[in-house]
Amino acid sequence: MGQRAQHRHHHHHRKDQVHRVTGGRGTGPGRCAQVQHDHAADGDEHQDRQQARHRAGRFGDRHLRRLPHRYRPGRHERGRRPSLPQELHVVQTGRSGLRFHPIWCARAIGGAVTVIPGAFQGVPGVDDPLCRISIQCADAARAIDVALPRHAALGVLLPDIVGLVTGDGDPSPDAATQGWRLDRICGGRCDESLSLQEIGIVDGDVIVLSAVTGPPPGPLPRDVFRTVAAADARPEPPTVPAGAWAGACAVAVAALGYSGAAAPTPVAPALAVAAAAGCVLIARRADTAMRLALQAAAIGFTWVAGFLAVPGPAGMPGVVLGAATGCAASMWLLRAGGADTRFFTATATALALLTAVSAPALLLPAGPGAQGAVLGVLALGMSSAAGRIAIGIAGPRPRLPGRSDDTGPVSDETAVRCRAVFTGLVGGSAVAATLAVGMVAVDSAGSPSWPQGAALAAVISALLLLRVRFYADRTCRAAAGWCALVGATVTVALATVSAPRYGGPAAVPAVALAGWWHAGRAHRAPSWSRTADIAEYLLIAAVVPLACWVAGIYQVVRSLSLG
């Protein structure tokens, strides 16, 4: 080995030497980089062929070019390591196979990079400055494996990364302005102002290069398993409607109640309680339609449990206890939250009215007809006072003139809650009125007192139908209208069973009321509204005397001895 080769070998393998590359790409006409070599200990001078202006030197500009390069040692350097470590080369996988790309991965802001000798040679106690990762392109099926410096800002490396991933091999100085970004494969954008170590990127991680306007990284749409899974994919089955769930729950409640009443056993009430608890627990994890049906079934099972809990044959005590337990269950579900306020308010209202009417019947000799008459009057009164009761429950207070207290404007949440409570009160009152019509019809069918029972049923149904025009809420109109039509149907059936010759004429007013209710959706003349008001006043005046007649109060008063 000659003197020049020994000096060159001694020059390139010093551990205390610092190489500083200034201006990775020159800006002059010749675009040649300036290479400065500073020595820490002694003042060895460069030879003529090692000056920064000479392009043939070992650290000349040829190591900054984007051309295929492979180190070829001379005869005097065979078996020795190249001056640039292999980790500073980029291994790119493309159509041309495996090749080395002589890119300086360590570029810094301002064009100056400090390379620590010994760090590349694995000196103990010094961290590895290179991070070996894979970069995938989100817009094309292309990926590269690179070794990047851990402590360099990611934004400085982005132009070279874009140039490599896009395939042209040249860096893109305007990569940031062109809208490129780097994301983790598992999600989360990489901050370009931080280094790989600060971001938390380690060896083996995968980073996705994509446009700023593109979607975040996700599963590839052309994966094989997704293609197979999507092949001959059948549509999702439609969800079961709420009506089907309600029907199934009603059948289950009726079956349990009938079997328990026909063959009383101590196990039936316990089974009903267990079914109610199971419905409540399952409803917490069900969807909206199934949740409402299961909660309604829980109320039904509670009513059945109370009805079957009374020993002896089925009778009025069981009805009273069942209605009371069902009302309590409705109030509990309403206060527990997450329930439909309108539905459970209506259920609690109807069961509370039924309990209030059935409880005195345990002490007084009153039949179903008398109880139905009283229930009809209470239901009509509840529908008339629904607005005031809703204001008292929900909390909105209107501003009254002459009062100093200013309650402030009513919030939207309070208004919605008040409307839901009002709708539930109206719906529960309408259901209770329909139940009253049924009780009167069942007690009066085939008896000599069927005319007064049919008259009371017709009056209650007509009042429900006439009150449809007062409600602005569609649910209130639907509840009152359908309950009125059911009551009219029961009235016609009562007249047909009790007096077949009068069944046809009795159906005429029922059909007329149904047609008028359907036509009432359109605009009506003021004269029709005034006529409806007068008819409603007359029916309200007649409902209490008819209820007293059906309940037998006149007969009781007549039989009293006042003298």
Q: How far apart are the C-alpha atoms of 306 and 171, rounded to whole Å? A: 82
How many other CB atoms are found less than 10 A from the CB of residue 67?
Answer: 8
Spatial CA neighbour of 423 closest among 329, 330, 343, 523: 343
Q: How many helices (H) and strands (E) does the chain have?
A: 17, 9
Q: Which residues, at least 6 apart from 467, have a Cβ–Cβ distance to it below 8 Å? A: 383, 480, 536
Q: Are 375 and 436 in contact (CB under 8 A)?
A: yes
Percent over 90 (pLDDT), the chain: 9
Instruction: Give 424 or 74, the one with higher predicted confidence.
Output: 424
Question: pLDDT (tens digit, 9 = 90+) per residue, 382-414?
Answer: 999 988 888 888 776 666 665 555 555 667 777
**Strongest mean pLDDT among 74-88, 225-239, 308-322:** 308-322
- When pLDDT is averaged across residues 245-250 and rounded to a whole number, the result is 76
Which residue's structure tokens are 């091999």? 169
Spatial CA neighbour of 165 closest among 137, 191, 128, 184: 137
Walk across the sheet containing 97-101 and list its strands.
97-101, 90-94, 143-149, 130-137, 206-211, 180-184
Q: Are 298 and 283 in contact (CB under 8 A)?
A: yes
Largest interatomic CA distance in the chain: 152
Spatial CA neighbour of 341 closest among 327, 330, 350: 330
> Positive or negative CA dihedral for 391, 395, 399, 404?
positive
> Positive or negative CA dihedral for 44, 47, 52, 56?
negative
pLDDT band of residue 491 (cuts 50, 70, 90) is confident
| Residue-level length of the chain | 563
- When pLDDT is averaged across residues 99-123 and rounded to a whole number, the result is 36
> Can you name the CATH fold of 127-220?
Ubiquitin-like (UB roll) (3.10.20)
Walk across the sheet containing 17-22 and list its strands.
34-39, 17-22, 112-115
pLDDT band of residue 68 (cuts 50, 70, 90) is very low
How confident is the model at residue 33, as a pLDDT?
A: 36
Q: How far apart are the C-alpha atoms of 420 and 414, rounded to whole Å? A: 10
Specify the amino acid at residue 526.
P
- When pLDDT is averaged across residues 96-119 and rounded to a whole number, the result is 35
Q: How far apart are the C-alpha atoms of 442 and 550, rounded to whole Å? A: 12
Question: pLDDT (tens digit, 9 = 90+) per residue, 441-484?
Answer: 888 887 788 888 888 998 999 899 888 888 888 888 888 888 98
Q: How far apart are the C-alpha atoms of 108 and 152, rounded to whole Å? A: 6
Residue 131: Cβ-neighbour burial (10 angstroms; 0-12, 13-18, 19+)? buried
Q: How far apart are the C-alpha atoms of 562 and 403, rounded to whole Å? A: 51
**Residue 432 pLDDT exceeds 90:** yes
Q: How far apart are the C-alpha atoms of 524 and 333, rounded to whole Å? A: 41
Which residue's structure tokens are 């349990």? 256
**Residue 143 pLDDT exceeds 90:** no
- When pLDDT is averaged across residues 374-379 and rounded to a whole number, the result is 92
How confident is the model at residue 227, as a pLDDT?
A: 55
Question: pLDDT (tens digit, 9 = 90+) per residue, 202-238?
Answer: 888 888 888 887 777 765 555 555 555 555 545 555 4
Average pLDDT over the chain, rounded to whole?
71
**Residue 181 pLDDT exceeds 70:** yes
Q: Alpha helix locations (H) across 29-120?
A: none
How confident is the model at residue 350, as a pLDDT?
A: 92
Spatial CA neighbour of 338 closest among 303, 411, 288: 288
Choose the weakest-confidence range: 364-378, 403-417, 486-500.
403-417
Question: pLDDT (tens digit, 9 = 90+) per residue, 28-65?
Answer: 443 333 333 344 344 444 444 444 444 444 444 444 44
How confident is the model at residue 239, as a pLDDT?
A: 59
Choose the weakest-confidence range: 122-126, 181-185, 234-238, 297-301.
122-126
How confident is the model at residue 236, as a pLDDT?
A: 54
How confident is the model at residue 178, as a pLDDT?
A: 63
Q: Are 9 and 77 in contact (CB under 8 A)?
A: yes
**Strongest mean pLDDT among 89-98, 107-116, 235-244:** 235-244
Q: Alpha helix locations (H) across 189-315?
A: 196-199, 224-230, 242-262, 267-283, 288-309
The DSSP code for 326 is H
Q: How far apart are the C-alpha atoms of 17 and 23, rounded to whole Å? A: 19
How confident is the model at residue 202, as a pLDDT?
A: 87
Specify the amino acid at residue 94.
G
Phi, psi (rounded to 5 degrees) for 195: -90, 170
- When pLDDT is averaged across residues 120-128 and rounded to a whole number, the result is 47
- When pLDDT is averaged across residues 5-14 and rounded to a whole number, the result is 50
Pairing of strands 97-101, 143-149: unpaired
Q: Which residues, at least 6 apart from 430, have a Cβ–Cβ distance to it below 8 Å? A: 379, 383, 464, 479, 480, 483, 484
- When pLDDT is averaged across residues 302-313 and rounded to a whole number, the result is 84
pLDDT band of residue 240 (cuts 50, 70, 90) is low
**pTM higher than 0.85, yes or no?**
no
E strand or H helix at 533: helix 526-551
The dihedral formed by the CA atoms of 422, 426, 431 and 437, expressed in degrees to the nearest 10: 160
E strand or H helix at 17: strand 17-22
List the domain boundaries for the chain. Answer: 127-220, 388-395+411-549
Residue 299 to residues 168, 302, 357, Cα–Cα distance (Å): 72, 5, 20
The DSSP code for 49 is G
Residue 542: Cβ-neighbour burial (10 angstroms; 0-12, 13-18, 19+)? middle
Task: Give the per-residue SS3 of 428-479.
Answer: HHHHHHHHHHHHHHHHHCCCCCHHHHHHHHHHHHHHHHHHHHHCCCHHHHHH
Q: How far apart are the C-alpha atoms of 436 and 456, rounded to whole Å? A: 10
Instruction: Give 165 or 399, the one with higher predicted confidence.
Output: 165
Residue 534 to residues 59, 157, 255, 509, 514, Cα–Cα distance (Å): 108, 88, 46, 18, 19
